[in-house]
């Protein structure tokens, strides 16, 4: 098997920061919301592109590829006056580093392995530039490039774009967010099933309170919840220790947040407190991780009494109506105060 080549991309690019106001200075948002806009030749883009639809592979995010669509667009490309002002959205598969971008010269310089950058949106437009469709025509294309996105976020971006531009069937939406049956992405599937369970269970603190595909009202978006469980805080990994079923794993998360809701009756789902925002959610997930780690160390604590933890957290020195600390800086501050209260009571 031949080694893949690295393609050197060096181009003038505009960095776009689409962050909440309170998180403008929070660099941890780099890989969640920031992206770069630049022009790249169709030839170079085809070299680095990774096309994976649900029909092509179990890892796919895109809709099923239709060759007839490629032929139609290819005919337009090879016509007398082709134009493509609309953006092709890609994900460069590693975390952004400051050395990639010269802020003074607005220059993006990065090596990308061929066939590695997921095409989040625009697969038919780009595939149509294959010589068999476009008769060898090459054009510079507008690209929006994210760095290091995970599958839940890529799926959400794709679905939200197409939700507003052209309705996507509900079966496709849920299929996209079911991800796949590949063992490599088992954690995402499990996290997705847990989030779905919590959103649909009437007694759950998250009943009808998850923003599916990031749309609508709710405490937290589906993608953020899935990533928090699967990768950001590795909750799925900790829940897998005892080979529990999905329902059993979901029950652990449900019991924890039910205890939180009981102790924080006035604050839970209250838009005037940070517990109803992502800052509070992530801080609570960080504490859940610490509790699960502590329970593993004790080994004899098979059933965790989350209420005793929640009661202590309720009395922590925290101003839950203080919205000044946003982003992951705010998450870390809030989590540290909850942790200190638990440590003082010898619970961690």
Which has the closest alpha carbon to 240: 186, 195, 286, 283? 186
Judge if 175 and 107 occupy the same domain: no
The one-character DSSP state at 300 is S
Instruction: Report pLDDT digits (tens) over 244-295.
Output: 889 999 999 999 999 999 999 998 988 888 888 888 899 999 999 999 999 8
Judge if 224 and 337 occupy the same domain: yes
What distance lies between CA 202 and its chain's CA centroid?
Answer: 26
Containing structural domain, residue 69 = 6-149
Q: Does residue 275 form part of some domain?
A: yes
What distance lies between CA 55 and its chain's CA centroid?
Answer: 22
**94 token code pair:** 């590693």
pLDDT computed for residue 81 by the predictor? 66
pLDDT computed for residue 302 by the predictor? 66
pLDDT computed for residue 100 by the predictor? 95
pLDDT computed for residue 62 by the predictor? 46
Q: Does residue 161 form part of some domain?
A: no
pLDDT computed for residue 59 by the predictor? 40
Judge if 249 and 302 occupy the same domain: yes
Give the separation between CA 88 and CA 65, rounded to whole angstroms: 16
Judge if 131 and 190 occupy the same domain: no
pLDDT computed for residue 56 by the predictor? 44
Model pTM? 0.63
Q: Which residues pair with 141 in a beta bridge?
A: 40
Q: Does residue 155 form part of some domain?
A: no
Domain boundary among 118, 149, 180: 149
Judge if 320 and 179 occupy the same domain: yes
Judge if 258 and 293 occupy the same domain: yes
Which has the closest alpha carbon to 49: 112, 108, 98? 112
pLDDT computed for residue 13 by the predictor? 96
Instruction: Name residues of the chain where pLDDT drops below 50.
Output: 1, 54-63, 168-171, 173-175, 177-179
Domain boundary among 89, 118, 149: 149
Provide the domain count of the chain.
2
Buried b (16+ CB within 10 A) or exposed e, 310-342: bebbbebebebeeeebbbbbbbbebbebbbebb
pLDDT computed for residue 163 by the predictor? 61
């Amino acid at each position: 098997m031949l080694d893949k080549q690295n393609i050197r991309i060096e181009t003038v690019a505009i960095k776009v920061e689409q962050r909440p106001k309170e998180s403008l200075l929070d660099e941890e948002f780099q890989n969640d919301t920031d992206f770069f806009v630049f022009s790249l030749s169709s030839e170079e883009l085809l070299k680095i592109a990774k096309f994976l639809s649900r029909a092509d592979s179990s890892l796919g995010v895109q809709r099923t590829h239709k060759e007839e669509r490629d032929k139609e667009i290819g005919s337009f490309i090879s016509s007398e006056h082709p134009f493509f002002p609309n953006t092709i959205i890609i994900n460069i598969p590693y975390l952004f580093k400051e050395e990639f971008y010269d802020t003074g010269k607005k220059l993006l310089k990065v090596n990308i392995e061929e066939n590695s950058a997921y095409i989040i949106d625009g697969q038919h437009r780009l595939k149509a530039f294959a010589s068999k469709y476009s008769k060898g025509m090459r054009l510079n294309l507008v690209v929006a490039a994210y760095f290091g996105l995970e599958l839940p976020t890529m799926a959400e971006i794709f679905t939200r774009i197409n939700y507003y531009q052209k309705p996507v069937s509900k079966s496709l939406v849920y299929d996209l967010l079911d991800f796949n049956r590949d063992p490599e992405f088992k954690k995402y599937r499990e996290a997705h099933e847990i989030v779905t369970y919590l959103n649909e269970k009437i007694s759950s603190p998250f009943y009808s309170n998850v923003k599916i595909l990031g749309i609508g009202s709710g405490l937290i978006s589906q993608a953020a919840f899935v990533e928090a469980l699967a990768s950001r805080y590795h909750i799925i990994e900790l829940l897998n220790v005892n080979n529990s079923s999905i329902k059993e794993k979901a029950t652990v998360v449900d019991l924890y947040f039910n205890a939180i809701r009981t102790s924080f009756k006035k604050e839970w789902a209250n838009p005037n407190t940070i517990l109803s925002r992502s800052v509070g959610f992530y801080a609570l997930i960080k504490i859940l991780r610490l509790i699960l780690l502590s329970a593993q160390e004790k080994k004899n604590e098979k059933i965790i009494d989350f209420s005793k933890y929640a009661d202590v957290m309720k009395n922590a020195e925290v101003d839950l109506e203080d919205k000044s600390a946003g982003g992951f800086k705010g998450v870390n501050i809030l989590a540290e105060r909850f942790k200190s209260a638990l440590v003082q009571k010898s619970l961690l």
